[in-house]
Every structure is written in C-alpha cells, then in structure tokens.
Amino acid sequence: MLARTDRTTFRQRPHRGSLDPEIIAAILDEALTCTIAFVDEGRPVSMPTTHWRVGDRVLFHGAMGSRLAKTMAAGAELCVTVTLVDGLVLARSAFHHSMNYRSVVLFGQAVEVTDPAEKEAAFVALIEKLAPGRYAAVRPPTPKELAATRLLALPIAEGSAKIRSGPPVDDEDDMGWPVWAGVVPVRLERGEPIADEAAAGAS
C-alpha cells in the first residue's frame, strides 16, 4: 500500500478510495493521457499529455523547449491526474445520477532521465504501450532524437485511486418511479486502422 498522507486521505465517500499500488498501476496503464498540474506564479496550470508506466514510476516526455517538460525537470511540485470513464449511471431521481469511473491522482516531483540507453528503453515501453510488438519494426531513435527529447520520471509514492462502479443507488421511495434505470457502459474503443498515403500505396 502507498502511505496515507494528508493529501491522500479520503474525506468524501472513503469506500471509493484506494492506496493499492496494483489498482493504481492498472488505471495508469489503461489510460492514454493524463493531466499534469503545477503552480506558475501562484496560479494553477494543468496540461494534458501522454504518460506511461515502467515499474513504480510514471514517465512523461516532451521536446527540450517545452515549458511543461522544463518545469518538470526543474523539480516543480506536480499533481498528475488520470481518469477512465466506465459508465453513465442513470438513476430514477435526477439527484442520484452519477458516473462510473476509475481515477488516479499522484503527487510529487519528477526527475529528468538523461542516460541515452535508459531513455531509449523508456521509449520502447511507450511504443509498446500504444502498439504491442511494434517497436522492433520501427526506425529506432537516433542519438540526436534522444537528445532532443526530455524524459521525466515521477515515482508512484504519494497518491491514490478512486473508483465508482455498479448500478445507481436510488432512494427507497423512488424505486417505483416509472423510468428505466441502470448503467450505460462507455469504453474507449479502437477503430479500423487508417494507413497513411505512402503505406496505403505500398500495400
């Protein structure tokens, strides 16, 4: 279990919270994007980006000139948030409508990874996350490309998951209300791949 801190104490609906690193890892692995929040001159900034996980670290990358990557490399305090929506919860009462979801919030500071071999291994993991088995087939990064890309690693040390699942929870008095109630599942689905012009022409 991750240590419970003041920032990961569940005030609302504590039964939905978890500090289980396996649950946290599974949510991080399924999500394609996260938001990274930091403080800029006392005000919050939160930007979407791609993340991936290797062991007990979450990884991020960006161009050398990217403000977000620079901010992370400088050791800024971060809050990383990941959300997967699993369903629309349609209750009998307007009040009890909800969503099923799995989310993770992580706190901490990232460190920049500069070793080229470690960087390349991380990018292997990123491409394998997007398309398992693909890395062996693509043109690998050159030393110049590796140098042009900043790699940041955030330890999964302080954070938590939050999960809602299952049917609506209506008040007893509303159970006879004449309306359909239940869950509409939602899921990020992959469609038919679309070859680019050169790839389509080659086949």
Query: What number of CA atoms fall less than 13 Å from residue 180's CA on the CB side?
Result: 3
CB of residue 131 to a copy of itself, shortest distance in Å: 6
Q: For residues 194 and 203, give the distance between their C-alpha atoms in angstroms, rounded to a whole number.
A: 12
Among 135, 155, 157, 164, binds a copy of itself (CB under 8 A): 135
| Contact code string over 12-31 relative to a copy of itself, x by CB under 8 A | x-------------------
Minimum CB separation of residue 56 from a copy of itself in Å reads: 21
64 in contact with a copy of itself (CB under 8 A): no
Given 3, 132, 137, 143, the residue binding a copy of itself (CB under 8 A): 137
Residue 157 Cβ vs a copy of itself, minimum distance, rounded to whole Å: 15
Rank residues 1 and 137 by Cβ distance to a copy of itself and give the closer one: 137
Q: Please, which of residues 72-111 interact with a copy of itself by CB under 8 A?
A: 77-81, 83, 85, 88, 90-95, 97, 99, 101, 103, 105, 107
Distance CA 84, CA 100 (A): 9
Give the range of 19-27, 51-59, 110-118, 119-127 binding a copy of itself by CB under 8 A: 119-127
Contacts of 102 (CB under 8 A, 6+ apart): 27, 30, 83, 84, 86, 161, 162, 163
Q: Write out the binding residues for a copy of itself, residues 38-57 only, by CB under 8 A.
A: 38-39, 42-48, 50
Options 37, 54, 125, 157; binder of a copy of itself; rule CB under 8 A: 37
**CA-to-CA distance for 56 and 155, rounded, in angstroms?**
6
CA–CA gap between residue 72 and residue 55 (Å, rounded): 20
Opening angle at CA 133, ends 130 and 139, nearest 5: 85
By CB under 8 A, residue 188 contacts a copy of itself: yes
Q: Decide if 55 contacts 154 (C-beta within 8 A).
A: no
Bridge partners (DSSP) of residue 50 are 33
